Structure 1
């Protein structure tokens, strides 16, 4: 073997001659542009979602507070259910626990309640309205009804 034969390129197998190796510069640039456009669209969508992510949490927390107040007021005896009850907050204020103390973690919320006595088809009922205002000043209102179930002192 001569010295020049060592520097020659090896012969390719017949099957490897027609195969492409790698990408052209044009293909690479097009791929980068497509990935860049997709990433920009994805990032802008994520930014708008992240900007509004606190709203559903505030709404859900308001719903939990309103449901708790409504269920607690509906569970009271019919004759004790009026605007003077300690849980009935006519003027509004921060949420209170069953012990009547303000819940410190929820003091940014405001709860108002109204209890209205009404009569339907000669049946007296009390409408309980609970309004919760979250820190972003969005209001959530729940309404429930309570009638007398044969308790002592109920109007007939």
Structure 2
């Protein structure tokens, strides 16, 4: 007698993922990407702040230098008229100046639209020097501002 062998199907080990494994992988990758995007968003949002601060500082330094280079005068003889400063010929003419950032001749600088500047010049005493004036330049834009304070003395007296 001959025994017949019945062919039994072999179970093959199939490679791949189950549905549960795929869902878990998608959730883990999604959470990781969300965390990464939050970190990138925070760094990108904050990266413009230093640029704006440097721009405000550069504008304030330019105005401070312009004011400090003016000659000393006992009294102001010019009045701020709009943005133009080409008629200012002494230190006190800048007191009370306020407005948008522009060139000396009054030409608006489009790249600095929305940036404002104000200048104050006040008599003061600096280390025993009676003929001294304190210059304060404030530049602001978008809720941020920077203030520079400098001194100018009458070295001729």
Shorter-normalised TM-score: what interval?
0.5 to 0.7
| Deviations 1:10-37 (CA, angstroms, capped at 9, x unpaired) | xxxxxxxxxxxx8876988776655443
Question: Paired residue for 1:90?
Answer: 96
2:119–2:138 contact (8 Å) kept in structure 1:
yes
Query: RMSD in angstroms over aligned alpha carbons?
Result: 2.9
Structure 2 regions of 5+ residues with no counterpart? 1-14, 74-89
Once the two structures are TM-superposed, the CA of residue 72 in structure 1 deviates from its matched residue by: 1.4
- CA pair 93-128 structure 1, distance change in 2 beyond 3 A: same
Structure 1 regions of 5+ residues with no counterpart? 1-21
TM-score (norm 1): 0.64
Question: Paired residue for 2:91?
Answer: 81
Query: In 1, distance between residues paired with 2:143 and 2:22?
Result: 52
Query: In 2, distance between residues paired with 1:63 and 1:120?
Result: 24
| Deviations 1:73-122 (CA, angstroms, capped at 9, x unpaired) | 1122223211x2xxx26252011213343323223111000011112344
Question: Paired residue for 1:129?
Answer: 136
- CA pair 69-133 structure 1, distance change in 2 beyond 3 A: same
Question: Paired residue for 1:37?
Answer: 31
Once the two structures are TM-superposed, the CA of residue 125 in structure 1 deviates from its matched residue by: 1.3
Within the candidate set 99, 115, 125, 2:121 is matched to 115
